[in-house]
Structure 1
């Protein structure tokens, strides 16, 4: 179990995260998403005890990370795959960690096999590893102590398609055995394929969270016309909000029937009309983190406050 409650972190005058709260339950994979600079890394570092909150709390298994005895036996962490000593071999890196954590030496061979680094790769110096191999070694390090919780920042970075598919199965299997996974990644389709829960952060604040099924079911209707401006106007006249979609399409906040009727009423011929799907998480992500949409929402709030 991971809990983050009212987490706020300031670096001088800069507000990195503001009043962030969410939880990750055992048996689930939680996708933690947001654009660059949104506050993802700061939040993950706070969970792992590497960054002290300005206010608020984080806990793993009911305790702050820094208070966990032998933390590696409870939480497996991968925040930077390049942080390993370049002069040691993969096996030496894991053997040293096993000694520190009090893990049986046989566990080193188990995790090397699990992440696909057994044999010759285990004897290579980390400085000679590719980025994908370093990611696999980082995952091996996270799994070494047989933890109940994994906190992973961009674990698929550098992996080829086969490696990404392998990692998906690894994380899904870990959660299905009762483990807790908090996963930050820019590979939205992979997150969509494996995550049970989603937390989306933008500008240091949580803008959406809930089950994948609930959030992705509300992504609206994809609609496309030659005259995008006319389509936007017709939908606005019908009280249907829109956000930018893939290519020149729009994602309308309404069912397909209502969107079609609005376009017909406005005399706008449609080229495409269907439920938003396929790239559902990408569409949700863009609608929640698009700065243009955020500016429009802020303007609407200002107008409402002024009129009140």
Structure 2
């Protein structure tokens, strides 16, 4: 499993990640979501020991990643599909990794076949690969050591719809066999389809986390009015927790009846009032991260 406890990273005066905590259990896929610059990649790099944290700890199977003997046999990583030697062929890339990790040579062919790179593709130089092919090669490298944990940063970049569907099945099968997956992605619908748990990060902080069903249950009400300012004032007077929706309405953490009563007490005419359970992951993501900078964090 993966355990992150109060992880922070500061670059001078800039805080990229602040007090982030979550865990990923065996047998699950955890979707790690957030806008550009939110701190997803920095957090993943700290988990893997590539970026030293300013505070906090991260462990894999209760051990600091840097202390794992032969880590590729326990943790499969794909943090940057472009970080591959362009002059080597796909097969040479995996063969070298297999020698370093001490895995049988047959694993090279097994993993190439698993990710859909045939003999022709495996014989090409990486410089001739499309982004989608590099992603497949990166996944093959992550799977090469037959690990029980996968940490993947945007693995679907460059994949066509068929490739995304294939990857979703691969990750689901990996988790169903007891593996642990931490998956960062901008493809919210694909994450929604495969993830068991969700961690949403904005401006370097975790803004929501829990099981997919918990976060998508959408407890509360979605409400819109002709006078949005009067509606917000009415809800505030009633003491109901509220945040803005992306369609100009409000998401209120209360039953629709309570929201309607608050509006009626203040004489506010409503255009829409319904349970928020149909909002979906995209709506939740946008509302939770509204106002966060979409600029990449300064590193």
Does the 8 Å contact 1:222/1:274 carry over to 2?
yes
What is the count of residue pairs matched by the alignment?
292
Does the 8 Å contact 1:28/1:180 carry over to 2?
yes
- Distance, in Å, in 1 between the alignment partners of 2:271 and 2:24 is 41
Partner residue in 1 for 2:107: 107
- Distance, in Å, in 1 between the alignment partners of 2:226 and 2:98 is 62
Does the 8 Å contact 2:223/2:270 carry over to 1?
yes
Q: What is the SS of the residue equivalent to 2:35? A: coil
Partner residue in 2 for 1:133: 133
The Cα of 1:217 is off from its aligned counterpart by 2.0
The Cα of 1:81 is off from its aligned counterpart by 0.6
TM-score normalized by structure 2?
Answer: 0.89
Q: How does 1:118-197 map to 2 (within 5 A)?
A: 118-197=118-197
Partner residue in 2 for 1:295: none
- Distance, in Å, in 2 between the alignment partners of 1:165 and 1:268 is 46
Larger CA deviation: 282-291 vs 126-135: 282-291
Q: What is the SS of the residue equivalent to 1:192? A: helix
Partner residue in 2 for 1:302: none
> Is 1:211 aligned to 2:211, yes or no?
yes
| Unmatched 5+ stretches in structure 2 | 293-299
Partner residue in 2 for 1:297: none
Change (3 A) 1:42 1:268: same
Deviations 1:141-193 (A, max 9, x none): 11111100000111111112222122111111111110011111122222222
Change (3 A) 1:250 1:203: same
- Distance, in Å, in 2 between the alignment partners of 1:215 and 1:236 is 23
| Unmatched 5+ stretches in structure 1 | 293-308
The Cα of 1:76 is off from its aligned counterpart by 0.3
Deviations 1:228-286 (A, max 9, x none): 33433443343334323233333222222333344444444444333224542223323
Q: How does 1:8-157 map to 2 (within 5 A)?
A: 8-157=8-157
Q: What is the SS of the residue equivalent to 2:17? A: strand
TM-score normalized by structure 1?
Answer: 0.86
- Distance, in Å, in 1 between the alignment partners of 2:227 and 2:131 is 45
- Distance, in Å, in 1 between the alignment partners of 2:117 and 2:223 is 47
Q: What is the SS of the residue equivalent to 1:284? A: helix
Does the 8 Å contact 2:197/2:210 carry over to 1?
yes
Q: What is the SS of the residue equivalent to 1:22? A: strand
Does the 8 Å contact 1:109/1:118 carry over to 2?
no
Q: What is the SS of the residue equivalent to 1:170? A: helix
Bigger RCO (CA 8 Å, 6+ sep):
2
- Distance, in Å, in 2 between the alignment partners of 1:5 and 1:98 is 32
Partner residue in 1 for 2:231: 231
